[in-house]
Amino acid sequence: MQRRGRIAYPYTVWMVIFIVVPLFLILFYSFTEGDIHNIKDLRFSLNGYKKVLEPIYLKVIGDSFLLAGISTLICLIIGYPVAMIIANTDAKYRNLLLTLFIVPIWMNFLLRTYAWMSLLSPNGFLNRVLMWLGLPKLEIMPGKGAVLLGMVYNFLPFMILPIYTVLSKIDKSVIEAAHDLGGNNVVTFMRIILPLSVPGIVSGITMVFLPAVSTFVISGLLGGGKAPLIGDLIEQQFLSSRNWHFGSALSIILMIMILISMAIMSRIDKSEPEEERRKI
């Protein structure tokens, strides 16, 4: 045991340097103001947080959560049936099918987003095809529509995977038992398959919502600054506006909101068995 404890030391050091310290720095900057390069100039202040409450920034936060929420919902609506189809495919082809849906993850994230840019841009592939067909131009990029598309495309595999994993673990004989007891396909799905797949849905939602709500690459590239999200705002504060205090405050707020939504999700995940346990 001692040995194993010692082996963990480098890991602990790593964690402290790259996770704990940056976290405290951000917390520190969020509660101060002044010249960030001059430690003597820094003083306690809540201005970073006050700025977050300004209507334009509140709207950005609201937009981020709304967009992330919508894209999560779309991912769920597309991802669940896909996961179900994969899980019900013959074992021989199942891995192939799964790989087809997962392959996009193996490509570089930026590359994928650039690909969408060139597809959707005003003179991009899509519009040239439309023009060629004599149809009116589509102007979704830059804009929220394109951002939504980018989010769904990029994060869909993260919805499919956990749901597929849970579905493929459901014992076939449980489904047969439901049929045996008189349940047709709809009843069996609603009362057996869906409730049993809740853990997969919950982790799928978490795995899509979290990156979607904090992304800045997708909104930056496909939104073209027209629909800034909280991620863009934070990026701006650190890279161009150089207002680290405001950026840090935004990060902390985002983190708190994510923690709250994660807590809610894990509640949903556990609610069913807990209810039963409570009845005992």
Tokens of 33: 């103001």
* Alpha-carbon radius of gyration of the chain: 23
The distance of closest approach from Cβ of residue 209 to other proteins in the complex, given in angstroms and rounded to an integer, is: 24
Contact status: 74 vs other proteins (CB under 8 A): no
Is 135 a residue that touches other proteins (CB under 8 A)? no
Alpha-carbon span 262 to 248, nearest angstrom = 21
Chain positions 180 to 239 lying near other proteins, rule: CB under 8 A, are 180-184, 187, 191-192, 195-196
Residues binding other proteins: number (CB under 8 A): 23
Contacts 24+ apart (CB under 8 A), 107-115: 109/154, 109/217, 110/217, 112/153, 112/154, 113/150, 113/154, 113/217, 113/218, 113/221, 113/222, 114/221
Least distance (Å) from other proteins to the CB of residue 235?
43
> How many angstroms from the chain centroid is the CA of residue 116?
18
Of 31 and 80, which CB lies nearer to other proteins in the complex structure?
80
Contacts of 58 (CB under 8 A, 6+ apart): 52
Q: How far is the CB of 262 from other proteins (least distance, A)?
A: 22
Query: Is residue 15 part of the contact set for other proteins (CB under 8 A)?
Result: no
Task: Report the site for other proteins in 165-184 (rule: CB under 8 A).
Answer: 171, 173-174, 176-184
Interface positions with other proteins (CB under 8 A): 171, 173-174, 176-184, 187, 191-192, 195-196, 272-273, 276-277, 279-280
